[in-house]
Amino acid sequence: MVIEMDLAQRRAQHDVETAEHLFDVAVEQFDIAADVLGLEDNMRRVLRHCQRELTVHFPVEMDDGSVQVFTGHRVQHNDGPGPTKGGIRYHQSVTLAEVKALAMWMTWKCAVVGLPFGGAKGGVQVNPKLLSGSELQNLTRRYTAELAHMIGPTKDIPAPDVNTNPQIMAWIMDTYSMHEGHSVPGVVTGKPLVLGGSEGRAEATGRGCVFAIQEAAKVVKLNLQRAPVVVQGFGNAGSVAARLMAQLGAPVVGVSDSRGGIHNPAGLDLTAVQRHKDRTGSVVGFPEAENVSNEDLLVLDCDVLIPAAMEGQITEDNANFIKARVIAEAANGPTSPEADRILHDRGVFMVPDILANAGGVTVSYFEWVQALQAFPWKEEEVNHRLQDIMARAFAAVHGTAERYGVHMRTAALVRGIARVAEFTRLRGIYP
């Protein structure tokens, strides 16, 4: 027990240290792409900064009557393209630097797939697994009240992220609506269907990632029906991506969650794995597989690797040992710039986060449109539109990569940054 607690503390400290450096990584990636574009100095100064950063310290009454103070953030990177858009995460390692980086990446992500949004992100430094349902609701409502002046359907639209879900979005919507005096379903996306959520939203990030993998497979001439797949992170995005890859015929040989991973080179029965996780709280210990660490999972034999967990997982320390031919980043920021260079030199085809996981924000856009029009779409229409957008965005990014002779991450950033820079030039500087 003591060893497990020590490992958990060290992992938490590593997560915080990684988060603190994340904005430096985001700016470094921006600078690389800006050099490729030949972006002028004035534009660099504008786009390297976040427009608004809010940090709040707010009290929450706990079930035992005590009052705890939590720290939360909301950052809006750039509202040039339109209202800002980005998720809210609840995690013990949340820092302002991390939220700034994620907000910047959201700006480029929305631009890459052509959405009329700028980028934003939010987070509360908390381990929600330690809270009761009523404490979680109290925290969500008080955090929302602190943000109420800066969010809204035409200003900034939150969505689910790490450890948040449709229920939390419902609480945010209700709290904001109480402040406004009328129901405002368009203030968040990722809501329950009955409150105006969109068909297909829950699976959108994983489904969009698989659409991107299908396009990448055409480029590298990979037969997905015989391509072993490893997924780090068996949460919403990772479990959906794993299931959809298996439906394409690809054997999923390894998956993991925050407690560790499992590996079976013959392929996993994902339905049985999900039942095991629902029963025990983790994929670890699944009887028809071998337990492996999250670190070892990344270097298993496979053709497709899907990092769908937290940031900073693929670094210069393990990039040389990764065996996958294609990496599709369902998570945000899982690969360091140093690892990017190593993987590119080794011929690994990277589908970067701002393209690979753009399915979530794309269907969030669909949900926002449906809320504004009060006109729901069928799931078939949602998925068809998503596939079309992902395929067109992939083709555009791949074409940019070939044009400039750069890897796919830089190409995606070039596409996104060029689009936002164009908005900025056309709108000008006020006053």
**CB-based contacts of 346: which residues, under 8 Å, 6+ apart?**
319, 320
**85 is known to lie in a ligand binding site:** yes
The residue from 121, 191, 218, 221 that is catalytic is: 121
Q: Is 300 in contact with 323 (CB distance < 8 Å)?
A: yes
**335 is known to lie in a ligand binding site:** no
**18 is known to lie in a ligand binding site:** no
Residue 104 CA to residue 33 CA, distance in Å, equals: 14
Q: What is the Rg, in whole angstroms, of the alpha carbon atoms belonging to the chain?
A: 21
Residue 312 CA to residue 294 CA, distance in Å, equals: 12
**277 is known to lie in a ligand binding site:** no
Q: How far is CA 134 from its chain centroid?
A: 27
**221 is known to lie in a ligand binding site:** no
**Residue 121: active-site member:** yes
DSSP structure string for 82-115? SSEEEEEEEETT--HHHHHHHHHHHHHHHHHTT-
Amino acid occupying residue 358: A
Q: Which of 49, 159, 88 is nearest to 420 (CA)?
A: 49
Residue 407 DSSP SS3: coil
Angle at 324 between CA 323 and CA 326, to 5 degrees: 155
**Residue 410 dihedral angles phi and psi, to the nearest 5°:** -60, -40
Catalytic center residues: 121
Q: Which residues are annotated as a binding site?
A: 85, 109, 205, 236, 364
Instruction: Point out the annotated binding site for substrate.
Output: 85, 109, 364
Detail the residues annotated as belonging to a binding site for NAD(+). Answer: 205, 236
